[in-house]
Structure 1
Amino acid sequence: MPKPHRQVIGVDIGGTGLKLGRFDSEGLLLAEQHCPTPQPPAPGAITTAVVEAIEALDPEAQADAVGVGLPGPMDRSARVAQVCINLPGWEQVPLAEWLEARLQRPVTLANDGNCAVLGEQWLGAAKGIDDVVLLTLGTGVGGGVILGGQLFLGRRGAAAEPGLIGLDPAGPPCNSGNNGSIETFCSIGALTRWAGCPPDELSRRAQGGDAEALEAWQRYGQLLGCGISSLVYAFTPERVLLGGGLSAAFPFFAASLQQEVERRVLAPSRQDLVIAPASLGNGAGRLGAARLALERLPGRQG
């Protein structure tokens, strides 16, 4: 018989930090752990760091399973990290197998953007919504897609990477190999490059009514709106959520973004569309990873 109140652990692996949470089956956070990502972030070093963090988070091994979010595509079986763009040396890493050998419990893997959108759908700004696109606007631009209430993984498990679609074929090079992707125009580094100052300074200036800063955020909204328009045509979601650090500046670029989407997308494709900030902040990834662990738990009922 399955345990009546199962617990799971969600892990969000980033380039600079590891965020972990132990949750019950309703998504209630029972304990959390934060630690720096080992540098260099070699697969073996991160595996050891995750194991040690989980042992500290769950010393009595109460959690039945572990979900792990990583910045890149997994294989269809959710066992192997195929590549992690911001983690050098990560190619075809059987992380689930490595962790299971040391933790003695099931482990499942997922793209961190997919984890974030699942977290938002479970307990965040997409709760009750079956068709959602999430973009995480940070060091890179990641994201995930839910269609018909189900996470969209594509034919081989590598979908979706909404931040890597092209805006300009002659644009700046992207770590993915693409040119002129949403990421190369709308990430923190990209905005800093073309606006001439970091986003936090740009927001402070905009808050004070600085015309140049307000114009930069307006341009940001136009660029992001162009990319979102393509995503709306592809998926016709009911909701587009914006997470990551840059989403805090949403009030400064919301109008130009909305205007751009309305200009570019035919009315039937954007009917009832809501574009809004995500609500769970940096906790969405680990929550979504925990949700996946719960859903994929052997013997789960209901």
Structure 2
Amino acid sequence: MNPLVIGIDIGGTAIKLGVFAKDGVCHKSLTVPTPQPATPKAVIKVIEETISVLRKEPQLDNLGAIQGIGIGVPGPVDAEGRISRIAINLVDWQEVPLAELLEEKTGLPVVIANDANCAALGEAWLGAGSQFKNMIMLTLGTGVGGAIILDGQLFVGHQGAAGELGLITLNPDGPECNSGNNGSLEQYVSVQAVRRDTGKEPLELANLALAGDKFALEFWQNYGRFLGVGLTSLIYILTPEAIIIGGGISAASELFFPATKAEIERRVLFSSYLNLQLLTAKLGNQAGIVGAAKLALTKFLDQ
């Protein structure tokens, strides 16, 4: 009998759940709509009901007991993995003791983490980062999330908020960021930044570039340069073995990776980027539940 854990990824439109074994096999997964409005009470109720359904699945009967739950949430989490500090895309979501509330509902131990951190854990476990002990991940989506893996362990800092890589300053006089910063990396390489600067969606710009459109080709060249400049600071500080790029924009990586690599090579001392790998994420929208499951396995079974 193999012990099992549940990995959960809470998003603004959908909540994904998966039942995983220690070998990384997902034996059952479900996706349910995020309740609207997505208040803590409503979200917890949906998760409780869906876990109840999963626990009754006949195909899990002979596999082993569920030993714990890991959850990825869209926002910062305390260092102990117990409290969801704030989630911008959810409603009335401040200082939510999510782990405690779900433990009361399910009788299972719970640990939570930022969703970008979970995505990085997933890629480090079963995805593009599985060969590396020191890596960083950026998710290029509506915003820009980040995560740091050092010596095989997720680094979150003494208060749990480390790894907000998308909020580093690229241009002190640049566009205002929701964080209160100006000219953050997010303001140059997120989906919102692409829309603001071009009036187009990234997919549209990718298709135009592949068709030879001059404007689109120049856009991706500049996009790659901005990403490379931002990564330069991170490389000097962390000297990772690999940088994993995920999120929706990563689908266009062939259009901007050459410019990104060229910018890194131009700005970074060879000793700091020796053998550095720049890779696209492999797990897609499953990275969150995979990483949340790994979070639970590490917390509750790898003691």
Normalising by structure 2, report the TM-score: 0.94
Identity of aligned residues (%): 49
Task: Determine the structure 2 residue equivalent to 1:54.
Answer: 51
Q: Which residue of the other structure, out of 146, 159, 165, is the alignment partner of 2:162?
A: 159
What aligned pairs does 1:132-143 form with structure 2 within 5 A after superposition? 132-143=135-146
Pairwise CA distance, 1:98: 0.6
DSSP 3-state at the match of 1:64: strand
Task: Determine the structure 2 residue equivalent to 1:42.
Answer: 39
Letter of the 1:24 partner, please give it. A
Pairwise CA distance, 1:196: 2.5
Letter of the 1:21 partner, please give it. G
Task: Determine the structure 2 residue equivalent to 1:170.
Answer: 173
Taking the aligned partners of 1:177 and 1:127, their CA distance within structure 2 comes to 35
DSSP 3-state at the match of 2:204: helix
Task: Determine the structure 2 residue equivalent to 1:27.
Answer: 24
Note the alpha carbon deviations across 1:115-147, whole angstroms, 9 max, x for none: 111111111111120100000111111021101
Pairwise CA distance, 1:174: 1.7
Taking the aligned partners of 1:88 and 1:160, their CA distance within structure 2 comes to 24
Taking the aligned partners of 2:302 and 2:177, their CA distance within structure 1 comes to 43
Taking the aligned partners of 1:301 and 1:242, their CA distance within structure 2 comes to 28
Q: Structure 1 residues 247, 258: CA separation in 2 closer, same or farther (over 3 Å shift)? A: same
What aligned pairs does 1:184-263 form with structure 2 within 5 A after superposition? 184-263=187-266
Letter of the 1:82 partner, please give it. R
Q: Which residue of the other structure, out of 269, 280, 284, is the alignment partner of 2:287?
A: 284
Taking the aligned partners of 2:197 and 2:149, their CA distance within structure 1 comes to 32
Taking the aligned partners of 1:85 and 1:236, their CA distance within structure 2 comes to 31
Q: Structure 1 residues 7, 219: CA separation in 2 closer, same or farther (over 3 Å shift)? A: same
Pairwise CA distance, 1:74: 1.0
Normalising by structure 1, report the TM-score: 0.95
Q: Which residue of the other structure, out of 3, 10, 17, is the alignment partner of 1:6?
A: 3
Task: Determine the structure 1 residue equivalent to 2:66.
Answer: 63
Two-structure CA RMSD over aligned residues (Å): 1.4
Taking the aligned partners of 1:174 and 1:214, their CA distance within structure 2 comes to 26
Letter of the 2:47 partner, please give it. V
Pairwise CA distance, 1:231: 0.9
DSSP 3-state at the match of 2:120: helix
DSSP 3-state at the match of 1:87: coil
Taking the aligned partners of 1:130 and 1:7, their CA distance within structure 2 comes to 25
What aligned pairs does 1:88-127 form with structure 2 within 5 A after superposition? 88-127=91-130
Asked if structure 2 preserves the Cα contact closer than 8 Å seen for 1:22 and 1:58, the reply is: no
Q: Which runs of 5+ in 1 are unaligned?
A: none
Taking the aligned partners of 2:174 and 2:80, their CA distance within structure 1 comes to 35
Taking the aligned partners of 1:168 and 1:301, their CA distance within structure 2 comes to 43
Taking the aligned partners of 1:137 and 1:88, their CA distance within structure 2 comes to 23
Runs of 4 or more off by more than 6 Å in structure 1?
A: none
